[in-house]
A and B are shown apart, each in its own frame.
Chain A
């Protein structure tokens, strides 16, 4: 019983990992995008709109990516790699924001 349960977990773990990566990792990437656009050289209002508009396309692309690559590990790695420059942009764009 315990053995077959473990077996089932092991068999489905990569798929579960991908689903989590798609739903939550994808959303995190989209949310980062929506903040990263504040680094764009435009006024705050347009930057916010650009971020919101782009975020759903990024989310869609992220989900497709997560299921298209060879393994769940690669899926996560791709998300992290895409997230790094966005994170940098967030830090850059966030300067002086809390005024």
Chain B
């Protein structure tokens, strides 16, 4: 029953390979969509080119007052709840939502006038963000559990990968170029080791963001609803539910309240102003702090009496474990990051994505040398190989395709935002068919070429279909649009280079069949 005991490195290597392989396709998709989500706001702005470019909005107190006035006079006079999200350097518009007799509604407002601005119907960067942990076309709860299980597998793959790696320090400085499997192994190891703290942090903190779902037992064993509410209150700010009837009346001036908040936290520190009708027929005004102010995301807010303007509650402290949670949550989301840190996030996360991709490719490279007949591999090998192509090369193509849909779909298509998303999945499915039908090497080259073309032509499409094309955005200082188009070109060049290298690649066993056996034993 017991086979000869094997070394720890061998068992950990097996654990690493199989936990990795089982979830790597979904992990790759989670990582890549998560990577671009560090620029979620920027993607949303780029996908709504009608909205005004970033301006210098007035100070928060006046701005908040102007928006509240616009809400109470024009947009939602009968509201029992109003919520106003102030503009940021990354998102120049005001997002409002409210609740009245007919339910919830939302709108985007011009910070200068308080008037409604309309843009094309799109989910923008929110789609990639949501797909990153909810997936799509399945209930959110399933998506979150699938993402959670994948993250646990990833954590195990990281730990077992480190144990497997016997010379972690030496190999750090080792790279054997052009040596087939050894190069893939060195590349996979370099990407993993260089980014190890990031990969571990981002995987663990990903679990932390949804830990109330995955590990509710401590909370559930405490029967007190107050304590349960206090726990969720350390994760995200949630307004008390508004009274269902009647409108907010006799509201105090909002500007002085925002001023008080800025006096406590600093200028530009207010994220949102939320007003609810309270049970005593008055109102409550909650002012929340921007998450760009600190790493931790534990909510910081002030609650005022909406009639007298008196401060009712100030939430400005959390316990050590609650704050630890907030720091991990914050590290995962990177909302505190300035532009430079955001790019570092993007690149580290891209390294993580590439690490997963190289692990997947390594699985096939290692087994290809042992195939009895390289022309006719067994089913499992073919399955992994084809799924690799459709995931690693097909997903970026589909993502670029969604940006094309955003520019090309007529503005009056009903359910336009959903159509963009359907097109994304249709394109991805087409890539799967393509990968299944073409010879593998051709499929790799063609899909990376298609991705390169789709990305490279996006700035041209943007120039033709909007007034914010690259030449104009560069000269007028529209940095978001200019940066976005330039980033697309850089990603296109990367895809092209991968396609070029794949096309020129000669499989090693064709040249040196004799050495194949000795190469195959590496871990």
Which A positions have Cβ atoms within 8 angstroms of B? Answer: 10, 13-14, 30-31, 34-35, 37-38, 42-53, 55-57, 59-61, 63-64, 67-68, 70-71, 90, 94, 97-99
Contact = CB atoms under 8 A, between A and B. Distances in A.
A97 B223 contact: yes
B26 interface: no
B325 A68 contact: no
Contacts, number: 112
A60 B156 CA distance: 6
A85 B215 CA distance: 19
B1 interface: yes
Interface string B6-36: 0010011011000000000000000000000
Contacts of B12: 64, 67-68
B340 interface: no
Nearest to B320: A46
B215 A55 contact: yes
Interface residues of B, number: 39
B457 to A, nearest CB: 43
A31 B217 contact: yes
B163 interface: yes
B321 A10 contact: no
B156 A43 contact: no
11 contacts: A14-B1, A42-B319, A47-B218, A49-B234, A49-B325, A50-B321, A63-B156, A67-B11, A67-B160, A68-B11, A70-B2
A73 B224 CA distance: 40
A14 B2 contact: yes
B222 interface: yes
Interface of B: 1-2, 5, 8, 11-12, 14-15, 152, 155-156, 159-160, 163, 204, 207-208, 211-212, 214-215, 217-219, 221-224, 227, 230-231, 234, 319-322, 324-325, 328
Contact of A47 (B155, B204, B321, B328): B321
A53 B324 contact: yes
Given A34-B218, A60-B155, 5 more contacts: A48-B231, A52-B325, A53-B211, A67-B160, A98-B223
The 7 closest A-B pairs by CB, nearest first: A49-B321, A46-B319, A46-B321, A51-B218, A50-B321, A34-B218, A52-B211
Contacts of A55: 211, 215
A46 to B, nearest CB: 4
A45 B215 contact: no
Contacts of A59: 152, 155
Contacts of A50: 321
Contact of A56 (B207, B321, B322, B324): B207
Contacts of B222: 38, 44, 48, 97
Given A45-B234, A67-B12, A38 B221 contact: yes
Contacts of B322: 45-46, 49
Contacts of B325: 49, 52-53
Nearest to B325: A49
Contacts of A61: 159
Contacts of B2: 14, 70-71
A71 B5 CA distance: 8
Contacts of B156: 60, 63-64
B327 to A, nearest CB: 10
Nearest to B160: A64
Contacts of B207: 56
B155 A56 contact: yes
Nearest to B149: A23
A64 to B, nearest CB: 6
A94 B152 CA distance: 28
